Amino acid sequence: MDRFPTLYTTRLILRKITIDDIPALLKYANNPKIADRIVNIPYPYEEPTAVFRISYVHQGFKQKSRFVFSIVSKAEPSLIGEISLHLNNTQDGAELGYWLGEPFWNQGLIKEAIARVTQFGFRELNLKSISASCDADNIASHKVLEYNAFKQTPSHGKTLIYHIEKQLN
Ligand SMILES: CC(C)(COP(=O)(O)OP(=O)(O)OC[C@H]1O[C@@H](n2cnc3c(N)ncnc32)[C@H](O)[C@@H]1OP(=O)(O)O)[C@@H](O)C(=O)NCCC(=O)NCCS
Protein backbone atom coordinates (compact mmCIF):
# COMPACT_ATOMS: atom_id res chain seq x y z
CA MET A 1 0.00 0.00 0.00
CA ASP A 2 1.91 3.03 -1.30
CA ARG A 3 -0.77 5.68 -1.01
CA PHE A 4 -2.69 6.51 2.13
CA PRO A 5 -6.11 4.91 1.69
CA THR A 6 -9.34 6.91 1.50
CA LEU A 7 -12.44 5.17 2.83
CA TYR A 8 -16.08 6.15 2.37
CA THR A 9 -19.26 5.63 4.39
CA THR A 10 -22.76 6.99 3.78
CA ARG A 11 -22.00 10.31 5.47
CA LEU A 12 -18.23 10.35 5.89
CA ILE A 13 -14.89 10.36 4.13
CA LEU A 14 -11.95 8.87 6.08
CA ARG A 15 -8.70 10.17 4.64
CA LYS A 16 -5.12 11.27 5.24
CA ILE A 17 -4.61 14.37 7.39
CA THR A 18 -3.00 17.46 5.79
CA ILE A 19 -1.82 20.83 7.07
CA ASP A 20 -5.10 22.30 5.82
CA ASP A 21 -6.81 20.32 8.61
CA ILE A 22 -4.97 22.22 11.36
CA PRO A 23 -7.69 24.87 11.99
CA ALA A 24 -10.39 22.16 12.33
CA LEU A 25 -8.11 20.04 14.50
CA LEU A 26 -7.53 23.00 16.82
CA LYS A 27 -11.25 23.78 16.84
CA TYR A 28 -12.54 20.29 17.66
CA ALA A 29 -9.72 18.48 19.52
CA ASN A 30 -9.27 21.36 21.95
CA ASN A 31 -11.90 20.02 24.34
CA PRO A 32 -11.30 18.64 27.86
CA LYS A 33 -14.13 16.11 27.32
CA ILE A 34 -12.00 14.59 24.55
CA ALA A 35 -8.61 15.03 26.27
CA ASP A 36 -9.99 13.26 29.37
CA ARG A 37 -10.71 10.15 27.27
CA ILE A 38 -7.70 9.94 24.93
CA VAL A 39 -4.16 9.60 26.27
CA ASN A 40 -2.33 11.43 23.49
CA ILE A 41 -4.74 14.36 23.20
CA PRO A 42 -3.69 17.16 25.56
CA TYR A 43 -5.80 20.07 26.78
CA PRO A 44 -5.27 22.79 25.74
CA TYR A 45 -4.61 21.49 22.23
CA GLU A 46 -2.43 24.07 20.49
CA GLU A 47 -0.79 24.49 17.09
CA PRO A 48 2.54 22.70 17.89
CA THR A 49 0.51 19.65 18.98
CA ALA A 50 -1.41 19.69 15.70
CA VAL A 51 1.81 20.01 13.64
CA PHE A 52 3.39 17.14 15.59
CA ARG A 53 0.22 15.11 15.11
CA ILE A 54 0.45 15.39 11.32
CA SER A 55 4.04 14.13 11.23
CA TYR A 56 3.16 11.35 13.72
CA VAL A 57 0.34 10.21 11.43
CA HIS A 58 2.43 10.36 8.25
CA GLN A 59 5.37 8.57 9.92
CA GLY A 60 3.06 5.84 11.21
CA PHE A 61 1.72 5.22 7.73
CA LYS A 62 5.26 5.11 6.27
CA GLN A 63 6.21 2.45 8.84
CA LYS A 64 2.79 0.74 8.44
CA SER A 65 2.59 0.72 12.23
CA ARG A 66 -0.58 2.81 12.46
CA PHE A 67 -3.36 4.09 10.22
CA VAL A 68 -4.83 7.31 11.58
CA PHE A 69 -7.69 8.60 9.45
CA SER A 70 -9.15 12.09 9.53
CA ILE A 71 -12.91 11.85 9.74
CA VAL A 72 -14.44 14.30 7.28
CA SER A 73 -18.15 14.96 6.97
CA LYS A 74 -19.52 14.95 3.43
CA ALA A 75 -21.98 17.62 4.60
CA GLU A 76 -19.25 19.94 5.90
CA PRO A 77 -16.04 18.88 4.18
CA SER A 78 -13.59 19.54 6.98
CA LEU A 79 -12.03 17.36 9.65
CA ILE A 80 -14.52 16.57 12.43
CA GLY A 81 -12.57 13.84 14.24
CA GLU A 82 -10.08 11.00 13.92
CA ILE A 83 -10.17 7.21 13.92
CA SER A 84 -7.11 4.99 14.10
CA LEU A 85 -5.76 1.47 14.04
CA HIS A 86 -2.46 0.95 15.88
CA LEU A 87 -0.95 -2.36 14.83
CA ASN A 88 0.65 -4.66 17.37
CA ASN A 89 4.19 -6.00 16.95
CA THR A 90 3.09 -9.12 15.12
CA GLN A 91 0.93 -7.01 12.75
CA ASP A 92 -2.03 -9.40 13.08
CA GLY A 93 -3.95 -7.34 15.62
CA ALA A 94 -4.61 -3.67 16.24
CA GLU A 95 -5.98 -1.25 18.80
CA LEU A 96 -8.81 1.00 17.65
CA GLY A 97 -9.06 4.63 18.81
CA TYR A 98 -11.45 7.45 17.88
CA TRP A 99 -12.83 10.83 18.79
CA LEU A 100 -15.37 13.18 17.24
CA GLY A 101 -15.79 16.92 17.69
CA GLU A 102 -18.54 17.58 20.23
CA PRO A 103 -20.93 19.34 17.77
CA PHE A 104 -21.10 16.02 15.88
CA TRP A 105 -21.91 13.71 18.79
CA ASN A 106 -25.14 11.70 18.99
CA GLN A 107 -25.70 11.48 15.23
CA GLY A 108 -24.42 7.94 14.82
CA LEU A 109 -21.42 9.13 12.79
CA ILE A 110 -18.73 7.28 14.70
CA LYS A 111 -20.64 4.02 14.33
CA GLU A 112 -20.25 4.39 10.54
CA ALA A 113 -16.56 5.17 10.87
CA ILE A 114 -15.92 2.18 13.18
CA ALA A 115 -17.75 -0.18 10.81
CA ARG A 116 -15.68 0.96 7.83
CA VAL A 117 -12.30 1.01 9.60
CA THR A 118 -12.94 -2.43 11.12
CA GLN A 119 -13.72 -3.77 7.64
CA PHE A 120 -10.54 -2.10 6.31
CA GLY A 121 -8.49 -3.71 9.10
CA PHE A 122 -9.79 -7.18 8.38
CA ARG A 123 -9.91 -7.02 4.57
CA GLU A 124 -6.99 -4.76 3.64
CA LEU A 125 -4.59 -5.20 6.56
CA ASN A 126 -5.52 -8.83 7.09
CA LEU A 127 -5.83 -8.40 10.83
CA LYS A 128 -7.10 -11.31 12.89
CA SER A 129 -8.50 -9.19 15.71
CA ILE A 130 -9.12 -5.60 16.77
CA SER A 131 -9.44 -4.36 20.33
CA ALA A 132 -10.41 -1.10 21.95
CA SER A 133 -9.99 0.03 25.52
CA CYS A 134 -12.23 2.59 27.10
CA ASP A 135 -13.05 4.02 30.49
CA ALA A 136 -15.70 2.04 32.37
CA ASP A 137 -17.86 5.19 32.59
CA ASN A 138 -17.59 6.07 28.89
CA ILE A 139 -21.05 4.75 28.02
CA ALA A 140 -21.22 6.35 24.55
CA SER A 141 -18.02 4.55 23.62
CA HIS A 142 -19.28 1.19 24.93
CA LYS A 143 -22.43 1.63 22.86
CA VAL A 144 -20.67 2.39 19.58
CA LEU A 145 -18.38 -0.62 20.01
CA GLU A 146 -21.23 -2.97 20.94
CA TYR A 147 -23.23 -1.67 17.95
CA ASN A 148 -20.30 -2.83 15.80
CA ALA A 149 -20.26 -6.33 17.36
CA PHE A 150 -17.27 -5.75 19.64
CA LYS A 151 -17.53 -7.88 22.79
CA GLN A 152 -16.40 -6.83 26.23
CA THR A 153 -13.63 -9.05 27.59
CA PRO A 154 -13.47 -9.85 31.30
CA SER A 155 -11.54 -7.07 33.02
CA HIS A 156 -11.34 -5.30 36.33
CA GLY A 157 -10.86 -1.69 37.23
CA LYS A 158 -11.57 1.53 35.40
CA THR A 159 -10.69 0.39 31.88
CA LEU A 160 -12.79 -1.99 29.80
CA ILE A 161 -11.35 -3.91 26.87
CA TYR A 162 -13.51 -4.64 23.84
CA HIS A 163 -12.53 -7.13 21.17
CA ILE A 164 -13.64 -8.39 17.75
CA GLU A 165 -12.24 -11.30 15.73
CA LYS A 166 -12.14 -11.59 11.96
CA GLN A 167 -14.98 -13.77 10.70
CA LEU A 168 -13.63 -16.53 8.49
CA ASN A 169 -16.73 -17.09 6.32
C1 LIG B 1 -17.21 8.26 22.00
C2 LIG B 1 -17.74 9.19 20.94
C3 LIG B 1 -16.89 9.09 19.68
C4 LIG B 1 -19.20 8.77 20.63
O5 LIG B 1 -19.67 9.57 19.58
P6 LIG B 1 -21.22 9.75 19.29
O7 LIG B 1 -21.33 10.59 18.08
O8 LIG B 1 -21.92 10.23 20.49
O9 LIG B 1 -21.67 8.27 19.00
P10 LIG B 1 -23.05 7.75 18.40
O11 LIG B 1 -24.00 8.89 18.16
O12 LIG B 1 -22.73 6.90 17.23
O13 LIG B 1 -23.63 6.79 19.55
C14 LIG B 1 -23.55 7.12 20.91
C15 LIG B 1 -24.56 6.31 21.72
O16 LIG B 1 -24.29 6.57 23.11
C17 LIG B 1 -25.39 7.29 23.69
N18 LIG B 1 -24.78 8.26 24.60
C19 LIG B 1 -24.09 9.37 24.30
N20 LIG B 1 -23.68 9.98 25.41
C21 LIG B 1 -24.11 9.20 26.46
C22 LIG B 1 -24.00 9.27 27.87
N23 LIG B 1 -23.33 10.27 28.46
N24 LIG B 1 -24.55 8.30 28.61
C25 LIG B 1 -25.23 7.29 28.03
N26 LIG B 1 -25.36 7.13 26.70
C27 LIG B 1 -24.81 8.10 25.93
C28 LIG B 1 -26.14 7.89 22.53
O29 LIG B 1 -27.49 8.12 22.86
C30 LIG B 1 -26.00 6.76 21.50
O31 LIG B 1 -26.83 5.69 21.88
P32 LIG B 1 -27.58 4.72 20.84
O33 LIG B 1 -26.50 3.82 20.28
O34 LIG B 1 -28.57 3.99 21.65
O35 LIG B 1 -28.16 5.59 19.76
C36 LIG B 1 -17.73 10.67 21.40
O37 LIG B 1 -18.51 10.74 22.57
C38 LIG B 1 -16.33 11.19 21.69
O39 LIG B 1 -15.60 11.60 20.78
N40 LIG B 1 -15.95 11.18 22.98
C41 LIG B 1 -14.62 11.64 23.41
C42 LIG B 1 -13.50 10.71 22.96
C43 LIG B 1 -13.74 9.27 23.36
O44 LIG B 1 -14.35 8.99 24.37
N45 LIG B 1 -13.21 8.36 22.54
C46 LIG B 1 -13.31 6.94 22.80
C47 LIG B 1 -12.22 6.50 23.73
S48 LIG B 1 -12.43 4.78 24.12
Is 80 exceeded by the pLDDT of residue 6?
A: yes
Q: Choose between 6 and 1: higher pLDDT.
A: 6
Query: What atom in ligand 1 is closest to the CA of residue 112?
Result: 12
Enumerate domains of the chain plus CATH numbers.
7-165 (3.40.630.30)
- Tally of CB atoms within 10 A around 144: 24
pLDDT, averaged across the chain: 96
Using a cut of 0.95, tell me whether the model's pTM lies above it: yes
Identify the CA nearest to 28 among candidates 41, 17, 15. Answer: 41
Q: Choose between 155 and 147: higher pLDDT.
A: 147
Euclidean distance between CA atoms 143 and 135, whole angstroms: 12
The pLDDT of residue 156 is 78
Query: What atom in ligand 1 is closest to the CA of residue 134?
Result: 48
Q: How far is the CA of 17 from the centre of ligand 1 (A)?
A: 23
